[in-house]
Amino acid sequence: MNLTSGFQRIYLASRSPRRRELLTQIGVHFDTLIFRTGNRADPETDETPLPGEAAEAYVLRLARAKAEHGQRLIGWRKLMTQPVLAADTTLEVDGQIIGKPADPVDAAAILKRLSGRSHRVLTGVAVDFEGRVETALSISAVRFRELSEAEIRLYVASGEPMDKAGAYGIQGRAGLFIEHIAGSYSGIMGLPLCETGNLLKAFGYPFN
């Protein structure tokens, strides 16, 4: 099942400016689908982990749920039918899923926990189109150097950690903290380009 020549764009079901930048980098034309947040958030995109859920299953479940909900929104809003791309990123430390910090105190606690050690960054990607859903998973390892209390305090005060899984952005000031990565840099940012490109090709996206 491929895209016809009439489909030259996709929907990105994400608010993330980093994912928008990454799609633009590889020449994908897209429109953005925005989900509701806060007290009016769509229950279909609830990011609460299930009891005992592994990080791999968690990010793939959420990416798929977001892509499927994006297709429902297209129908409800009577938008043009196009493939929906969605992604979800989380960290795993000691078998525990670490999402976005709840507040600055939580962000500081997360960064202190990451200091001087390695963790995993997992990003699930999903594409939904015409009743077909395909997913892909990117897993990377990241090692932080030892961080001082002052460094953590100043980084949290910058506001950068607050909307990011694991309370840091590798493409921002936190690049100073990272000694080593093994895996996908773009996956750590929130959208693994190799896996994303392969998924879109499977649906016939015209990379030309």
CA atoms within 13 A on the CB side of 13: 31
Rounded distance between C-alpha atoms, residue 150 and residue 128, angstroms: 45
Residue type (1 letter), 148: S
Residue 137: how many CB atoms within 10 A of its CB? 17
Rounded distance between C-alpha atoms, residue 55 and residue 121, angstroms: 9
Note if 42 is an active site residue: no
Which of 31, 88, 106, 163 is flagged as catalytic? Answer: 88
Pull the structure tokens for residue 33. Answer: 């689908």
- Point out which residues pair with 10 in neighbouring strands: 30
Q: Which residues are catalytic?
A: 88
